[in-house]
């Protein structure tokens, strides 16, 4: 018996010798049982390909992430033709960099300017531009964000530590299963000398959702 089991057993209500018997057996919690039941059913019906699942999990866990979106933004900052293309046909421009969606959604890029700050939400569930940002953080999926991004965008930005200059308006974009938005943040001042790759390092995930800004501090350290 290892230490963990000793600890677990000592927490049992009655530390009789019977508890050792329980610990000789496995236990699956309710959620694990539901997942296993689902997988067994799909396996029986021929819809389960464990290899394909592993590839999907690995892809989303390790390969797809906000760094893809950062590359898109950095390219737009350094290449005005690409930027124009991105604003007119984001799906095609993003696909040209090798980032394509699996769900057939249409990508739309909204540009921050000196007049407008854009912020993205999915009020219904958590539609999110996976191919460029990976999977959404918990707060994006939470009810308070989904509700408050629309009702109180100024307050939400304040919680993320952002105060916009007076006079700048906020546009909130509601993602759906069909349309996913990506914010093109403003390029920080005094970063024109940086390479595309260095610029990409300034682009934070939140700056592409609109709950953050590119991190100019990273530029100073370049």
Partner 1 sequence: MTNNSAKSNLTATADVLRELPDIPRRDNEPVFDEPWQAEVFALSLSLHEQGVFTWTEWAHTLSSTIKEAQRDGDPDLGNTYYLHWLSALEQLIIDKNLGDAAQLNKLHKAWDTAARNTAHGLPITLP
- The residues annotated as belonging to the active site are 122, 125-127
Tell me which of 75, 90, 145, 187 binds partner 1, using CB under 8 A.
145
Instruction: Say whether residue 167 binds partner 1 (CB under 8 A).
Output: no
Tell me which of 67, 171, 198, 218 binds partner 1, using CB under 8 A.
171
Rounded Cα distance between 7 and 111, Å, is: 55
Tell me which of 8, 12, 56, 92 binds partner 1, using CB under 8 A.
56
Provide, rounded to whole angstroms, the least separation between the CB of residue 18 and partner 1. Answer: 15
Q: φ, ψ for residue 184 (rounded to 5)? A: -95, 100
DSSP 60: I
Among residue numbers 185 through 214, which ones bind partner 1 (CB under 8 A)? none
Instruction: Say whether residue 141 binds partner 1 (CB under 8 A).
Output: yes
Residue 181 parent element (H or E) = strand 179-184
Tell me which of 6, 135, 197, 222 binds partner 1, using CB under 8 A.
135
Instruction: Say whether residue 47 binds partner 1 (CB under 8 A).
Output: yes
- Residue among 65, 174, 61, 54 at smallest CA distance from 130: 65
Among residue numbers 106 through 125, which ones bind partner 1 (CB under 8 A)? 108, 123-125
Altogether, the residues listed in the chain come to a count of 222
Stretch of residues binding partner 1 (CB under 8 A), selected from 75-83, 131-139, 184-192, 212-220: 131-139
Those residues whose C-beta lies under 8 Å from the C-beta of residue 22, and which sit 6 or more positions away, are none
Q: Would you tell me the crossing angle of helices 66-78 and 80-88 to the nearest 10 degrees? A: 120
Query: Between 79 and 177, whose beta carbon lies closer to partner 1?
Result: 177
Look up residue 56 and give its two tokens: 């999907």
């Amino acid at each position: 018996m290892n230490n963990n089991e000793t600890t677990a057993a000592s927490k049992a209500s009655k530390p009789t010798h019977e508890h050792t018997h329980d610990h000789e057996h496995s236990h699956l919690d309710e959620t694990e049982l539901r997942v296993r039941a689902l997988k067994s059913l799909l396996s029986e019906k021929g819809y389960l390909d464990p290899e394909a699942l592993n590839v999907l999990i690995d892809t989303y866990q390790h390969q797809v992430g906000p760094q893809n979106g950062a590359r898109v933004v950095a390219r737009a900052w350094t290449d005005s033709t690409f930027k124009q293309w991105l604003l007119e046909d984001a799906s095609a421009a993003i696909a040209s960099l090798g980032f394509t969606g699996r769900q057939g959604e249409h990508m739309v890029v909204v540009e921050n300017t000196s007049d407008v700050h854009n912020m993205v939400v999915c009020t219904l569930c958590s539609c999110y531009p996976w191919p460029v940002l990976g999977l959404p953080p918990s707060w994006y999926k939470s009810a308070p964000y989904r509700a408050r991004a629309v009702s109180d965008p100024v307050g939400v930005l304040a919680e993320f530590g952002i105060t916009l200059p007076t006079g700048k308006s906020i546009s909130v974009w509601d993602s759906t299963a069909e349309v996913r938005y990506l914010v093109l943040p403003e390029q920080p001042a005094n970063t024109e000398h940086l390479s595309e790759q260095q610029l990409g390092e300034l682009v934070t995930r939140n700056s592409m959702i609109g709950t953050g800004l590119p991190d100019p501090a990273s530029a100073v350290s370049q």
